[in-house]
A and B are shown apart, each in its own frame.
Chain A
């Protein structure tokens, strides 16, 4: 079945450590996104990528880094510079055509990764 796979589902890390969250999709979507979800704050965009080897900062990119070496993969690294990294992280993708004037902007989401910093 086509979809978005995030791993790990749960992750614990000590302060000062970097951690990488995986996101893989087999939907052949061009655009991919990372969101952070905190209680009562909704979803906030961290980074997004519209095409391989290119990505842009979202609203809360500080302390995070990404890469897009392959169309199907968009890993997120939470660095030690992120001051409050404990959160639920969601990866999403969309059809590139759906992002333009003729599209709807619909996103397809993975099941999320919950990161806890001890």
Chain B
């Protein structure tokens, strides 16, 4: 079945540092890939997505590239802010799971001023 493995946290950075959160997946076929963000006490919001190999999703300074050869979708940001402190979830959706989302366990990011 489908699965998502993401970097375990927590991750603590200083403001303006570079961020990478690793995400790798196992799936048959060609899944769509997502990063969702959850701010404290709230539900999840879609941060970015990519639907085919080599696509780059981007939003709010975050980027992730769909790498089929390495089955990865790593999240990056060049300069994090305190307001980026949240839990980040990598997820995939594909035919083999009847298009239900499969989530990773989440990575808590804390950015200090």
Measuring CB to CB, which residues of chain A are less than 8 angstroms from any residue of chain B?
4, 6, 33, 40-43, 45, 48, 58, 90, 92, 99-101, 103-112
Which of B34, B89, B99, B105 is within 8 Å of A40, CB to CB? B105
Range of interface residues on B (Cβ < 8 Å): 20 to 34
B45 contact set on A, CB distance < 8 A:
109
The listed residue with most A CB atoms (<10 A of its CB), out of B42, B45, B93, is B93
Asked if B106 and A107 sit within 8 Å, CB to CB, the answer is no
Asked if B99 and A99 sit within 8 Å, CB to CB, the answer is yes
Asked if B101 and A105 sit within 8 Å, CB to CB, the answer is yes
A48-B100, A104-B49, A105-B32 are known; give 20 further A-B pairs, CB within 8 A: A4-B43, A42-B89, A42-B105, A42-B106, A43-B44, A43-B103, A90-B43, A99-B93, A104-B32, A105-B94, A105-B99, A105-B100, A106-B46, A106-B49, A106-B93, A107-B44, A107-B46, A108-B46, A111-B42, A112-B43
The listed residue with most A CB atoms (<10 A of its CB), out of B45, B51, B98, B101, is B101
Measuring CB to CB, which residues of chain B are less than 8 angstroms from any residue of chain A?
32, 34, 36, 41-46, 49, 51, 89, 93-95, 98-101, 103-106
* 15 examples of A-B residue contacts, CB within 8 angstroms: A42-B89, A42-B103, A42-B104, A43-B103, A45-B100, A48-B100, A90-B43, A92-B43, A104-B49, A104-B93, A105-B93, A105-B100, A106-B32, A110-B43, A112-B41
* Complex CA–CA separation, A106 to B104 (angstroms): 15
The listed residue with most B CB atoms (<10 A of its CB), out of A33, A42, A108, A111, is A42
* Complex CA–CA separation, A108 to B42 (angstroms): 13
